[in-house]
Amino acid sequence: MKDIFINLENNKFHGEVLDVGILDNTIIKDLCVNNIENERIFYKSRNIRKSIDTTVLFFSLNLFYTNIFKYRMIKLIHKSMNKNAEVYIWDINKPRKKIFRKNIKMILPDKTIKSLKINNLNIISDNSFEKIRDLISKFFEIKEIRASDDVFFIKAVKN
């Protein structure tokens, strides 16, 4: 299994941070500056507060197999965010008819390294970079995009 390295040393999140994740990890909590209120939600939760400054989707969109669920999640997040709030997305670039099986190693601001195994063997799901970019651009203004080693990053601001 191939390792992919992501440098998160310069990523710090401020204000009310919404960590949208199904994976049980503390990576986003480690990147929050003030840790005022770091919330973790699941898709089934509909009680998201409407004062979010920053939303982080850390390898979570690929877990939604259909694009309609991804669309609903992004729409719900958009409604809960303040004007000019930021959304950060790290995820896998896995088009339909492909599988993804890799280790992700992240370098955190305190120089520690955390690992995450990601296996998406569903050949029907489409979590391609292009598909996610197009979905995000319906609700947010994209400010930054990076893609390499079958992983992508998108930073966007609420319109």
CA-wise closest residue to 21 among 61, 70, 68:
61
Read off the pTM.
Answer: 0.85
pLDDT of residue 35: 44
Query: In the block, which residue shows the tokens 């088009």?
Result: 95
What digits encode the pLDDT tens for the residues 90-132?
999 999 999 999 999 988 888 888 888 989 999 999 999 999 9
Q: How far apart are CA 4 and CA 154, in angstroms?
A: 17
Domains delineated in the chain: 12-92+125-158 (3.40.50.150)
